[in-house]
Amino acid sequence: MFEVDIFTKKGFKDSRGEHVLSDILDIGIKGLKKIDYSPFYIIDGSINKSEVKMIASELLSDKITERFKVVSGVEDKKYKNSIIEVLYKKCVTDTVSESLVKAIKDLGITKDVKVKTGHKYYLHGNVSRDILNKIAIKLLANTLIQEYKVK
Protein backbone atom coordinates (compact mmCIF):
# COMPACT_ATOMS: atom_id res chain seq x y z
CA MET A 1 0.00 0.00 0.00
CA PHE A 2 1.25 3.46 -0.90
CA GLU A 3 0.12 6.93 -0.06
CA VAL A 4 0.60 9.73 -2.56
CA ASP A 5 0.36 13.28 -1.26
CA ILE A 6 0.11 16.21 -3.65
CA PHE A 7 1.38 19.65 -2.60
CA THR A 8 1.21 23.08 -4.23
CA LYS A 9 4.75 24.20 -5.15
CA LYS A 10 6.12 27.28 -3.45
CA GLY A 11 5.28 30.44 -5.38
CA PHE A 12 1.96 29.12 -6.63
CA LYS A 13 -1.42 29.99 -5.21
CA ASP A 14 -3.13 27.39 -3.02
CA SER A 15 -6.63 28.69 -3.65
CA ARG A 16 -8.41 25.85 -1.86
CA GLY A 17 -6.34 26.47 1.26
CA GLU A 18 -7.11 30.19 1.06
CA HIS A 19 -10.83 29.50 0.69
CA VAL A 20 -10.86 27.20 3.68
CA LEU A 21 -9.08 29.82 5.80
CA SER A 22 -11.62 32.40 4.74
CA ASP A 23 -14.48 30.01 5.62
CA ILE A 24 -12.91 29.34 9.04
CA LEU A 25 -12.76 33.07 9.73
CA ASP A 26 -16.38 33.34 8.54
CA ILE A 27 -17.56 30.97 11.28
CA GLY A 28 -15.80 33.08 13.86
CA ILE A 29 -12.71 30.95 14.53
CA LYS A 30 -9.52 32.94 15.04
CA GLY A 31 -5.93 31.87 15.65
CA LEU A 32 -5.08 30.32 12.29
CA LYS A 33 -2.66 32.04 9.93
CA LYS A 34 -2.57 29.72 6.96
CA ILE A 35 -4.06 26.52 5.59
CA ASP A 36 -2.23 24.27 3.13
CA TYR A 37 -4.45 21.94 1.16
CA SER A 38 -3.19 18.61 -0.09
CA PRO A 39 -5.22 15.94 -1.88
CA PHE A 40 -4.00 12.42 -1.20
CA TYR A 41 -4.48 8.97 -2.66
CA ILE A 42 -4.11 5.55 -1.06
CA ILE A 43 -3.16 3.01 -3.71
CA ASP A 44 -3.30 -0.66 -2.81
CA GLY A 45 -2.48 -3.74 -4.87
CA SER A 46 0.45 -5.64 -6.34
CA ILE A 47 2.14 -2.51 -7.53
CA ASN A 48 5.66 -1.20 -6.91
CA LYS A 49 6.96 2.20 -5.86
CA SER A 50 8.26 3.21 -9.26
CA GLU A 51 4.86 2.48 -10.79
CA VAL A 52 3.20 4.57 -8.08
CA LYS A 53 5.65 7.38 -8.82
CA MET A 54 4.68 7.21 -12.49
CA ILE A 55 0.98 7.36 -11.52
CA ALA A 56 1.67 10.34 -9.26
CA SER A 57 3.65 12.13 -11.92
CA GLU A 58 1.43 11.38 -14.91
CA LEU A 59 -2.04 11.30 -13.40
CA LEU A 60 -2.20 12.91 -10.01
CA SER A 61 -0.09 16.02 -10.10
CA ASP A 62 0.41 19.06 -12.29
CA LYS A 63 4.12 19.13 -13.09
CA ILE A 64 4.30 22.92 -13.15
CA THR A 65 2.31 23.89 -10.06
CA GLU A 66 2.46 20.79 -7.88
CA ARG A 67 4.90 18.31 -6.36
CA PHE A 68 4.16 14.88 -4.97
CA LYS A 69 5.43 12.58 -2.26
CA VAL A 70 5.07 8.79 -2.29
CA VAL A 71 5.18 6.95 1.03
CA SER A 72 5.04 3.18 1.51
CA GLY A 73 2.19 2.33 3.85
CA VAL A 74 0.08 5.16 5.16
CA GLU A 75 1.71 8.46 6.02
CA ASP A 76 1.93 8.78 9.80
CA LYS A 77 4.62 11.37 10.27
CA LYS A 78 4.29 13.87 13.13
CA TYR A 79 3.94 17.46 12.04
CA LYS A 80 4.31 20.51 14.16
CA ASN A 81 1.04 21.80 12.70
CA SER A 82 -2.37 20.18 13.00
CA ILE A 83 -3.74 18.14 10.13
CA ILE A 84 -7.35 17.31 9.35
CA GLU A 85 -7.67 14.32 7.09
CA VAL A 86 -10.97 13.58 5.31
CA LEU A 87 -11.89 10.32 3.56
CA TYR A 88 -15.11 8.84 2.18
CA LYS A 89 -16.85 6.26 4.33
CA LYS A 90 -16.99 2.68 3.09
CA CYS A 91 -19.62 2.01 0.40
CA VAL A 92 -19.81 5.68 -0.62
CA THR A 93 -19.13 5.97 -4.34
CA ASP A 94 -15.73 7.56 -4.89
CA THR A 95 -15.92 8.65 -8.51
CA VAL A 96 -12.38 10.04 -8.63
CA SER A 97 -10.98 6.70 -7.50
CA GLU A 98 -13.12 4.90 -10.13
CA SER A 99 -11.70 7.16 -12.85
CA LEU A 100 -8.21 6.72 -11.47
CA VAL A 101 -8.40 2.93 -11.57
CA LYS A 102 -9.35 3.18 -15.26
CA ALA A 103 -6.64 5.75 -15.96
CA ILE A 104 -3.98 3.53 -14.34
CA LYS A 105 -4.92 0.76 -16.80
CA ASP A 106 -4.77 3.28 -19.66
CA LEU A 107 -1.28 4.15 -18.46
CA GLY A 108 -0.26 0.55 -19.18
CA ILE A 109 -0.25 -0.74 -15.60
CA THR A 110 -2.50 -3.76 -15.87
CA LYS A 111 -2.21 -4.97 -12.27
CA ASP A 112 -5.38 -4.80 -10.16
CA VAL A 113 -5.31 -1.82 -7.84
CA LYS A 114 -7.69 -0.28 -5.38
CA VAL A 115 -7.66 3.45 -4.78
CA LYS A 116 -9.07 5.69 -2.05
CA THR A 117 -9.04 9.45 -2.36
CA GLY A 118 -8.86 11.93 0.48
CA HIS A 119 -8.07 15.49 1.48
CA LYS A 120 -5.54 16.81 3.98
CA TYR A 121 -5.65 20.27 5.47
CA TYR A 122 -2.50 21.49 7.24
CA LEU A 123 -3.53 24.16 9.73
CA HIS A 124 -0.89 26.70 10.76
CA GLY A 125 -1.67 28.41 14.05
CA ASN A 126 -2.83 27.75 17.55
CA VAL A 127 -6.25 26.22 18.02
CA SER A 128 -7.52 23.60 20.44
CA ARG A 129 -8.51 20.07 19.47
CA ASP A 130 -12.16 20.97 20.09
CA ILE A 131 -11.88 23.79 17.59
CA LEU A 132 -10.20 21.46 15.08
CA ASN A 133 -13.12 19.06 15.45
CA LYS A 134 -15.52 21.95 14.96
CA ILE A 135 -13.70 23.02 11.78
CA ALA A 136 -13.82 19.46 10.49
CA ILE A 137 -17.52 19.00 11.15
CA LYS A 138 -18.69 22.47 10.13
CA LEU A 139 -16.57 22.91 7.03
CA LEU A 140 -14.40 20.07 5.85
CA ALA A 141 -16.21 16.76 6.26
CA ASN A 142 -19.83 15.82 5.75
CA THR A 143 -20.00 13.12 8.39
CA LEU A 144 -22.93 11.53 6.60
CA ILE A 145 -20.63 10.28 3.85
CA GLN A 146 -17.13 11.13 5.08
CA GLU A 147 -14.98 10.39 8.09
CA TYR A 148 -12.22 12.60 9.37
CA LYS A 149 -9.17 12.40 11.59
CA VAL A 150 -7.53 15.22 13.48
CA LYS A 151 -3.78 14.66 13.74
Partner 1 sequence: MKNKISCTNCKTIEILNLSDKELVNFSDKNVLSLSIDEMKSIQFYFKKLKRNPTDVEIETIAQTWSEHCKHKTLTGIIEYTEEKHFKKTKKIYNNLLKETVFKATMELNKKWCLSVFKDNAGIIEFDAKNGVAFKVETHNHPSALEPYGGSATGIGGVIRDILGVGLGAKPLANTDVFCFGNLDTKNFQVPEGMHHPKRIAKGVVAGVRDYGNRMGIPTVNGAVYFDDGYMANPLVYCGTMGIIPKNKIDKKVNSGDLILVVGGKTGRDGIHGATFSSIQLDQESDISAVQIGNPIVEKKVLDTMLKARDLNLYRSVTDCGAGGLSSAIGELGEKTGVIVYLDKVPLKYEGLAPWEIWISEAQERMVLAVPQKNKKRIVELFNKENVEAVFIGEFTKDKKLMLKYNNYVVANMDMSFLHYGIPKPKKFAVCKVKEEKIQKFIKMTSTDLSKIFKSALSDLNVCSKECIIRQYDHEVQGQTIVKPLQGADIEVSGPGDAAVIFPYIAISGTKKGIVLSNGLNPSYGKINTYKMAASAIEESLRNAVAVGADLEKMSLLDNFCWGNPNNPETLGSLVRAAIACYDMSKAFDVPFISGKDSLHNEYSIGGKKYSIPPVLLISAMGVIENVANTVTMSLKNDGNKIFVLGVTRNEIAGSVFAKIKNIKDGIVPTVYPKESKEIMKRIYKAISNGLIECCHDCSEGGLAVAISEMAFAGDKGVEVDIDAIKTKGKLGVTEILFSESNGRFIVEVIPENESKFIEIFKGCVFAEVGCVREDKYVIFESLKNKIKIKEKSRNLLKVWQNAINL
Residues that bind partner 1 (CB under 8 A): 23, 26-28, 89, 91-95, 98-99, 102, 138-139, 142, 144-145
Q: How far is the CB of 89 from partner 1 (least distance, A)?
A: 7
Q: How far is the CB of 142 from partner 1 (least distance, A)?
A: 6
CA distance 150 to 133: 7
* DSSP helix/strand/coil, 149: strand
Closest to partner 1 by CB, 85 vs 94, is 94
CA distance 132 to 138: 10
Q: How far is the CB of 22 from partner 1 (least distance, A)?
A: 9
CA distance 97 to 94: 5
Closest to partner 1 by CB, 89 vs 149, is 89
4 near 69, Cβ under 8 Å?
yes
